[in-house]
Amino acid sequence: MVNWILGDLFFKDFGHQGSVKKLWEERWKFPCTLGVYPFHDGQIDDFAPIFEHLIAKNINDPYDDAWCSAFTPTAERLATAAEAAETTGDIPKAIELAKRSSTVYRIARFPYIGTPIKQRAYDAQKAIYMRGAALWDPPLKDLSIAHTHAENGDGTEIPLYTRVPKDASAQNKAPVVLLITGLDGHRPDNFERVDQQLQRGWASVIVDIPGVADCPANRQDPASGDRLFAAVLDWIATQPELDASKVLAWGLSAGGYYAIRLAHVQADKLVGAIGHGAGTHHYIGREWLKEVDHHEYPFDLQRAYLGKYGYGSWEELLEKCQKEYSLVELGIVQKKSCRLLLVNGVMDGCMPIEDSMLLMEYGTPKEGRFIQQRAHMGYPEAMPITFEWMEQVLGTKKQ
C-alpha cells in the first residue's frame, strides 16, 4: 500500500458526490463568483438561478438529461445577445457574451460528453465560442488537418484551434505552445491561456486528448496518442509562420500524461514540456481509483474514465488500465526526455502528487514545483509559476 501524502484526506469523503446542493454551496459558488475553474469567463448571475433550479428539483446526476437541459435556456439567451451585439457593432460586448454563453454550455456538458444531449451542448458551445473568437484580434481559427500517422482505427482528420501573433511570418517565426487539453476541459475552454500566450508572442495550437471531445485517436489503443501528436508536430513543421525549433507542450490534468509521454517519445522535437496536474502511474491503479470518487472532483470519475479509455466495465479498467497506460510499466520514463516541468498541488485528490514525484526517479533529470495546501492543478499559484518557466524555456517575456 502506498503511504499517500494526502494522509487521512485520502479516505475523507468531501460529501458533494450526489448532492448538487453541497456541490454548489460548498465547492462551486465561490469559484463561480471569482470566475475561475471551471467557470472561466462565466458570471455568478448566469449560474446562480440554474443551480437554484437544480437544487429545487433535486437533480443531482450530471448525466441526467434534466441537468443539461437546465443550462440550455441561459446559454441560448447569452448566445442570442452576443449575435445581436455583433450585429450592432459592439464587438467587445459580443465577445464577452459569447464567452459567457460558452461557459454555460461547458457546465451543461461537464464532466464528460457521454450522452446525445451533452454532445448537442458541446456542439453549441463550439459554435458560439468560435463566433466570438472570430472577433478577437487576432482571431482564433478552427482547423482540421490530416492525421498523417493514422492507423488501427484512428480517424483521418485532427481538429485544432490555432491563434498566431499578427506579426508572425516566415521571417519572424512565432514560438509555439502545443496546449493539450484534459478529461473535462476541451479546446473551447482556454480563453485566458491563449491570451497570455499571445501577449508573450507565442502561437497557440490546441488539441484534445484521445477518448474525449472530437479527438480522432483510437481510445482503446494506448499508442494512439503518440501517432496523434506526431502528426500535429509534423504539421507545425510545415507552417512558415511557426517556429518548429521552439515548440513547448503544455498538458493540462489528463492531458499532462500525454505531455509527459510526448516529452519522452518526441524529445528531439520539443524544447520543453509541462505535466500540469498530471498522472503517470498511480492515478490509474486500483488502490487510488478505489477512493478517488469521494475526493474533491465534482462528480464520479467512473463513467468519464470508461468513456475516455473505452473499457467495457469498471472492473476491466481496474484490471488493465495501469498495465496498458502507466508510463512506468511501459518503460517510457526510462527514455531521454526534453526539459520537463511537473507542476501540481500537493493535496491533489484527482491525480496524486506521487505521480509527479515519481518522474524524479527515472531517466533525464526533471524540474518540479509542488504547491502546498493546494488541490488539483495547484491554482492559483500554478499559473504565474508555469508562465515564468515557459518564458525561460522559450526565451520571451510578456509584452
Q: Which sign does the torsion angle of CA 130, 93, 109, 65 carry? A: negative
Q: What are 314's three cell numbers?
A: 469498471
Q: How confident is residue 2, by pLDDT bands cut at 50, 70 and 90?
A: confident
Return the half-sphere exposure (C-beta side, CA atoms, 13 A cut-off) of residue 210.
23
Annotated catalytic residue, options 154, 184, 226, 348: 348
Dihedral, 84, 87, 90, 93 alpha carbons, nearest 10? 30
Q: What is the pLDDT of residues 117-155, one digit of tens each?
A: 999 999 999 999 999 999 999 999 999 999 999 999 999
Check if 348 is active-site. yes
For 376, phi then psi, to 5°, come to: -50, 130
Q: What are 263's three cell numbers?
A: 516529452
Helix boundaries (H) for 58-176: 65-87, 91-109, 116-133
What single DSSP character describes residue 18? T
Check if 253 is active-site. yes
- Tell me how far apart the alpha carbons of residues 377 and 343 are, in angstroms, rounded to a whole number: 7
Q: What is the pLDDT of residues 217-275, one digit of tens each?
A: 999 999 999 999 999 999 999 999 999 999 999 999 999 999 999 999 999 999 999 99
- Span 348-364, mean pLDDT? 95
Annotated catalytic residue, options 102, 253, 337, 356: 253
Is residue 396 scored above 80 in pLDDT? no
DSSP string, 338-352: -SEEEEEETT-SSS-
- Span 178-198, mean pLDDT? 94
Q: What is the pTM of this model?
A: 0.94
Residues 316-319: contacts with CB under 8 Å, at least 24 apart: 317/284, 317/289, 318/286, 318/289
Asked if 201 contacts 175 with a C-beta cutoff of 8 angstroms, the reply is: yes
What separation, in Å, do the N-terminal and C-terminal C-alpha atoms of the chain show?
49
Residue type, 347: M
User: Where does the chain hold its CATH 3.40.50.1820 domain(s)?
Assistant: 138-399
Name residue, grid cell 464567452. Answer: 99
The residue among 246, 305, 306 whose CA lies nearest residue 279 is 305
> Which CATH number describes the domain made up of 138-399?
3.40.50.1820
DSSP string, 165-229: -TT-BTTBPEEEEEEE--SS--GGG-HHHHHHHHHTT-EEEEEPPTTSTT--S-TT-TTHHHHHH
pLDDT at 191: 85
